[in-house]
Each structure stands twice: as structure tokens, then as C-alpha cells.
Amino acid sequence: MAAARPVQIRLRGVVKSFGEKRVLAGLDLDVHEGESLVVIGGSGTGKSVLLKHMIGLLAPDAGTVEVDGVQLSELDYRAITTFRRRFGMAFQEGALFDSMTVWENVAFPLRRAGWPRDRIAARVAECLELVHLDGAERKLPAQLSGGMRRRVGFARAIALEPRILLFDEPTTGLDPVIKAVIDGVIIDLRRSLGSTTVTISHDMKSTFRIADRVGMLHEGKIIAIGTPDEIRSCPDGRVQQFIEGRAEGPLSD
């Protein structure tokens, strides 16, 4: 079903090294329009690095990244600024503007897009309510807990209802109830807007809840990708060890 949809993000042979350390080693990946892809993988395997390549924050040493048929490396600094309007991204650590209040953080993309005041106010209130943070509008990021910051970052990413959403561990460190709420928001965004979402997750329960497809990143490549059922029954020992969370197995060697 998902395979029939056109490809929105296409990565081919992406290589990225930091100094001597090779993080991505010729990675190929297609993300289809309107699908929800979840990327899993061990800590430090390069999931965040992969996500930053999709939006052009990092440029590959070799290989290509194509979004909606446009090769990101061919855009100059002005073109890519405009191009990014179709994206929303929530960072792993929130990356909130620490000189602005929660309200101003969520309003930032709306203001930059030139929305009128009353619509901004309504939309900010709506987004904060979605992540259960109504009442925290006037707080500064330094006054928030880690989980709250992450949720503000999430609200800021979805405020403009972009067509492509990248979430870097949106639910890590949240309590189970809020986790389910955020998962619900991600599912709704895809249903009501048809947005494409790429989510990084360590949590198998929410992975299988939100994913149309799951891909596993290991040693710089996607070693397995498929529907949740395909992944559950994947014969690869590394995938099985990861989704079952066992200490012994091929990943531990």
C-alpha cells in the first residue's frame, strides 16, 4: 500500500564522517508521501545525523538527498531557506530559543510566515493544548523540565502544519500518558493533513503504534525496513535483539 505512493525523501549512497568516525556508510532510504516511518537503532548509531541530512542541516560527504525531486545540495542558502517551509522538525533536546517564552517559541514560525495576530494567538493556544502545556505560556525554557521542553519543541514544529515532519525522539523521557497523547497527535497529523512523518524512537510500544513502516539503522546503513509485522517477524538476529531488548545477541558483540 505504502509502496504505491510517490517518494518524497530519497537518500542514495549517503556517506557522512566526523573526523575518522564514519557515521553513515552509503545509506539508501526512501520515504513515501503521507507515510509514517519510524527509524530505530542503538544509541549513537547516527539516527539524529540521518534526520539532519533529510532537511539539509548536514550535507553528505558523498551520495545524494532529494526532497520532492529537488536535490538539496543544489539549493543555495537563500533557496534552501524558502524550501524548508515545507518541513517541521522537533529536535532531540528541544532546541528552544532560550531568550523567548514558551508562547513566543511556538509563535515564532507563525510570525515569520506573516500570520495576523489573532490567528497566531489561536493557533499557539491550540498547539499548546495538543501537547498538554496550556498554562505554561509565560514560562521561559530554563524554567521547564526536559520533557516539557521537548513538548514545546514538538508544538513549535507542528504549528505551521507542514507537509513533512521530522521528530527526533519526541516521546523519550515522557510519562506513559503523555507518550500516548503525543503518539495520538502524530497519528492525527498524518490522518487529517496527510503529512509525511519520520520519527526516531527507542520505544517499541509507540513505534508499533505510530508506524506504517519501521527501518532499523545499524553501522551506517538501514539493515531492515518494512511494516511493523514484517519487522516483528524479521529473521535478522540484530533486529530481533533490538526490538525485544535483550542484552545478549549479535548487536552486543
Partner 1 sequence: MRLMRSWVRARVEPFFLEVGRFFVLLWRVVAWTPRPPYDFRQLTNQMVRIGVDSIPVVLLTALFTGGVMALQTFATLKRFNAEGYVGSLVAISMVRELAPVLSALILAGRCGSAMGAELGTMRVTEQIDALEVLATDPVHYLMVPRVWASTLMLPALVVLSNGVGIAGGYAVSVGLFGANPVTYMANTFQFMDWDDVTSGLIKSAVFGLLIAVVGCQKGFFTTGGAEGVGRSTTRAVVLASITILVSDFFLTKLLY
Ligand X SMILES: Nc1ncnc2c1ncn2[C@@H]1O[C@H](COP(=O)(O)OP(=O)(O)OP(=O)(O)O)[C@@H](O)[C@H]1O
State in angstroms the smallest separation of the CB of 92 from ligand X. Answer: 6
Q: Does 44 bind ligand X (CB under 6 A)?
A: yes
Contacts of 127 (CB under 8 A, 6+ apart): 106, 155, 156, 158, 159
Q: Which stretch binds ligand X (CB under 6 A): 43-51, 68-76, 117-125, 144-152?
A: 43-51
* 21, 43, 82, 177: which one binds partner 1 (CB under 8 A): 82
Q: Which helix (H) or strand (E) holds 121?
A: helix 117-130
Q: Does 145 bind partner 1 (CB under 8 A)?
A: no
Identify residues 86-145 at the interface with ligand X (CB under 6 A). 92
Return d(Cα 65, Cα 233) in angstroms, integer.
30
**With respect to ligand X, which residue has the nearer C-beta, 22 or 163?**
22
Q: Are 137 and 128 in contact (CB under 8 A)?
A: yes
Cell of 36: 509514517
Return d(Cα 195, Cα 181) in angstroms, integer.
18
* 32, 47, 156, 209: which one binds ligand X (CB under 6 A): 47
State in angstroms the smallest separation of the CB of 48 from ligand X. Answer: 3
44, interface contact from partner 1, Mg ion, ligand X, none, CB < 5-8 Å by kind = ligand X
At 215, give phi and psi (nearest 5°): -125, 140
| Cross-strand bridge partners of residue 171 | none
Return d(Cα 36, Cα 10) in angstroms, integer.
15
**With respect to Mg ion, which residue has the nearer C-beta, 92 or 241?**
92
**Chain centre to alpha carbon of residue 197:** 7
Cell of 195: 503529512
Return d(Cα 177, Cα 138) in angstroms, integer.
24
* 48, 171, 199, 207: which one binds ligand X (CB under 6 A): 48
State in angstroms the smallest separation of the CB of 70 from partner 1. Answer: 15
Q: Does 87 bind partner 1 (CB under 8 A)?
A: yes
Chain residues in the site for partner 1 (CB under 8 A): 52, 55, 57, 77-78, 81-82, 84-85, 87-89, 91, 93, 95-98, 108-109, 111-114, 153, 156-157
